[in-house]
Structure formats: C-alpha cells, structure tokens
Amino acid sequence: MREAGILLPLSSLPSNYGIGDMGPYSFELIDLLKTGGFRIWQILPLNPLGFGNSPYQPYSSFAGDEIYISLDELYEEGLLTKRPPKFQKNSKSVDYEKVRKFKEIYLKEAFLHFTEDTDYKDFIKQEWVYLYAVYLTLKKKNDLRCWNEWDKAQKEWIKTREFDISVYKEEIHYEMFIQYIFYKQWMKVKTYASQNGIRIMGDIPFYVGIDSLDVWANQECFLLGEDGKPTFIAGVPPDYFSATGQRWGNPIYNWDYLKKQGYQFWLDRIAYNSKLFDIIRIDHFRAFDTYWKIPATCETAIEGEWLEAPGYEVFDLIGKKLPEVEIIAEDLGDLREEVHVLKNHYGLKGMKILQFTFDPNENNNNFEDIENMVIYTGSHDNQTIKGWYLSQDKETRNRIRKSLKKLGYDDRIISKRFVRLTLDSIAEMAILPLQDLINLGDEARINTPGTLGSPNWEWKLDNFSKFKKEIGNLKEFITASKR
C-alpha cells in the first residue's frame, strides 16, 4: 500500500514547556496528519538523552526520557495540584538544561501524589525497570559520570549486588515511577494515533552508548577492557560528511559472545521497541553486514578496519521469534553490494534521499526508483531542501530547477517541487520532514553529522500555523499521488 508520512522528532513539537512532549500538541499533530491524508509519523529515539543531547547516545535502549513527559497530562490525571505555568512556550529551540530543571520540580511533586496500582506493579516486574532505576540513581550520585568511573563497589553492583543500595530506596522508586509515567503517556499517544489510522515509526540506533545501562548490565556483549572502557569503538571512515570520518565512540559488539547467547541482546531490543512503535527503523543498518572498527586510542575515525557481522544469523532469529515486526533498514551512504543483498534477502525496505540525486557533491547519488523502499526529501541529518538549495551555486540551482521542470514540477517554491516529486515516486512509503512541507531553511536543521553540541537536536516549532495552512494543498498532492 502506498503511504505518505512525515518526519518530526517528538522534541520538535510545539509545547507549553520548552520541548515537544506527549501532551496536547502530539494529539493535535495526529489530527492534522489524519486531515492531510498522512498515515505515518516517523520520530527519533525517545530514550534518555546522553552526551550532547543526542538521541543516538542514550542511557538505555528501553527507558524513556523524562523530558518528554507531559506536565499537562500529569495535571489532568490529578498528580499535580495546579497546572504549571507556561515555560518557554514560544521558543524555537530547546534549552535542555533549563527545561529539565523546570520539569523536575513538577515530576517530583507528581511522585509524592502517586499511589501504586496494579498496572504500575505489573510494569515494574520488567527487569530493566529496576536495573535502570538503580543505574540512573547511582549515576546521579556520581555527578552523572559514566559507570566505568564510579567507585569499584558501585561499579560492580550489577554483577555482585554487594553494594548497599537500600539507602537510595526512595530515589530508585522515583525513577521507576518516571518510567511508568513515560510508558503510560506514550502508549496513550500511540493508541490515539492507531485509532486515527496513523502508524508511528520509531528509531533504534545500531550501537548503544558506553554510558548506558545496556553496557553496564551486559558488559560481556561488548569489547571492553578490565576497566570497563572500550578497547574498540564505532564510527565510519571519511565520507561526504567528514574528511576525518565520524568517531562515534560507541563500544563495538562482542559478536562471538552474542552468538553464544543466541543474540538475545538484539532480540530483546527489537521486541520491546515493537511494543512502542508500529514500524522500527534501524539506524546504520549496514553494520549488520560490515562495521568499521576503530582502536579506542585513535583520535579520529581514519584508522580502522571493516569487519563482517553476522547479519543473516541475527535476522533469521528475528524472523523466527518476532515475525510480525516491520523493520526499515537505513542503508544510506557508499555501501558494498552485500548490504543490499542482506536487506533484500529479508524483504526489508531501504531508504533513499531525493536531495542526494540532485547534489553534484554527493558521491552516492545514483537513484533507482523501486517500490519496496522509503523515499525522503531529506533525513534528520540533512539540510532542509530550502537550505540545501540556497547553499548551491547559481549554475547548480539553475540545473536543479530545469531538471524538475522537465519532470513536470514548476512550483514557485523549490521545496514544494521536491515534496511533489517524492510523493509521486513509486516507492511504497514517502516520508517528508515537516520543515520541507512548510518551506523552512537551515535554521530548522536538526543535526549536522560529525559535529557536537548546539544547535544539534535543538530545533522546534513554536506553533502549527504554517502546517495548518498547507494541509489542504498537501492532501491534494497525496491524493493525486494515490497515497
């Protein structure tokens, strides 16, 4: 079935409290998507944000970040005595530190008013909930330092259970409460989306961060030294985005150990996320075929080697034990043919970025329009169409306009031409960043690969007014493209 969707991080929604959350604006977005004829809402990972506020360096593959909890929902549930005052309501960027400090006051008040019920008791029976609560509590007691820098007794609690954590009983219960509230609010959003014909596409990073419960609780699954620090790290060699490659710093998997364990680590990640999302996109899918292994001592990603991963073994098990899971493979970049063979063997949809096909500087701009694919104008790692177009020289801009006109797209606004071309593709899924739907420039770019810190991950809408004005036109485009 041909479908159209949007790409918009939850954090980028308008909000009464400085960051998009699981409150009224998420439900309003779903209403707008239904009105416009969209069927998919793609988001970025919702896990606890780690280094640089990147959703791809989370503290856990299972937990949710408390920053997305809606204070309005807490008030409606009776967990807050008064509705909190508006905070940075009209902001166009997220100040993570200030938002956290503001929300923490009300989250702790809600905890004091909370009474455990059967749903809560059932939720915390999941092993990861308690372990994450302990992990985050100890992390906070250690000034947020990584677990491999804690005192020996605390660092080894996960293996020995000898360190006395009973003194932190209240803090641990608070963290479990936070996870329950997050899950409850998110499932309310997901249920509403489903009721209105909208499927939500979640995102799983291939790698996990060293500073995470994932690694602390599963140290044998990674290539670590005796001190708990990675001996080898992940990244990619020099490419279009970076002359020195990208040194991500994530620990490399110990695939030999994972195989002995039946790849349970991966099965658990996929299974839990399949409860949260209708579709799962796996970021950096190509590492299931080959991955770039960088010595941890290297300061860049230039040094390293490609090694083969047991992708077929992993996906054979996923297909056997989780047959209903729908997975999208992020297969962008300059890849060897074996990556596509692996993807096609399991019938997975890959990704294509339309922007690349018109970019003379992109060395991977070959484009094959096929049905079993997800096509985008751009992803969260790209410039917006407007920003990208304006960054080209005059000759390139003229060539782009002429090429699009020959294809029958001569709208005055360049991003609208790309939107229509994307929707008219024979690809079964067409996903459009909301920035391109409302013709925003690079002030609305989400992330620049190979860079850290502000303004990455900070962009947000202040309201839906521009999107509402375009809904009618977008519905016409979607209908005309038979999506």
Q: Give the start-to-end residue ranges of the domains of the chain.
A: 3-63+200-480
256 is known as an active-site residue: no
Q: Which CATH superfamily is domain 3-63+200-480 in?
A: Glycosidases (3.20.20.80)
pLDDT band at residue 368, thresholds of 50, 70 and 90? low
pLDDT at 450: 77
Report the alpha-carbon distance of residue 200 to residue 278 in Å, rounded: 5
How large is the average pLDDT for residues 67-95?
97
283 is known as an active-site residue: yes
pLDDT above 70 as % of the chain: 98
Mean pLDDT of the chain: 95
Which letter does DSSP use for residue 230 in this model? Answer: B
pLDDT band at residue 29, thresholds of 50, 70 and 90? very high
pLDDT in tens, 402-459: 999 999 999 999 999 999 999 999 999 999 999 999 999 999 999 998 788 899 999 9
Quote the distance between the C-alpha of residue 189 and its chain's center: 17
Report the alpha-carbon distance of residue 112 to residue 153 in Å, rounded: 31
Exactly one of 21, 72, 283, 436 is catalytic; which is it?
Answer: 283
Token output for 33? 């998507």
Q: Above 90 in pLDDT, residue 59?
A: yes
pLDDT band at residue 344, thresholds of 50, 70 and 90? very high
How large is the average pLDDT for residues 312-331?
97
pLDDT at 364: 52
Report the alpha-carbon distance of residue 344 to residue 347 in Å, rounded: 5
Residues 6+ apart with CB under 8 A from 91: 18, 460, 462
Token output for 375? 């096509």
Exactly one of 278, 381, 428, 442 is catalytic; which is it?
Answer: 381
The stretches of 142-216 forming alpha helices (DSSP H) are 152-155, 157-160, 169-195, 213-216
Report the alpha-carbon distance of residue 286 to residue 185 in Å, rounded: 33
pLDDT band at residue 241, thresholds of 50, 70 and 90? low
Residues 6+ apart with CB under 8 A from 66: 48, 100, 103, 104, 107, 178, 182
pLDDT at 138: 98
pLDDT at 78: 97
Report the alpha-carbon distance of residue 59 to residue 215 in Å, rounded: 9
Q: Sheet containing 373-376: give its strands across.
A: 327-329, 279-283, 199-205, 40-42, 3-7, 429-433, 373-376, 350-353
Q: Above 60 in pLDDT, residue 353?
A: yes
Exactly one of 73, 211, 330, 458 is catalytic; which is it?
Answer: 330
HSE at residue 263, side-chain half, CA atoms within 13 A, is: 20
Q: Above 60 in pLDDT, residue 365?
A: no
pLDDT band at residue 238, thresholds of 50, 70 and 90? confident
pLDDT in tens, 204-219: 999 999 999 999 999 9
Residues 6+ apart with CB under 8 A from 212: 50, 58, 59, 60, 61
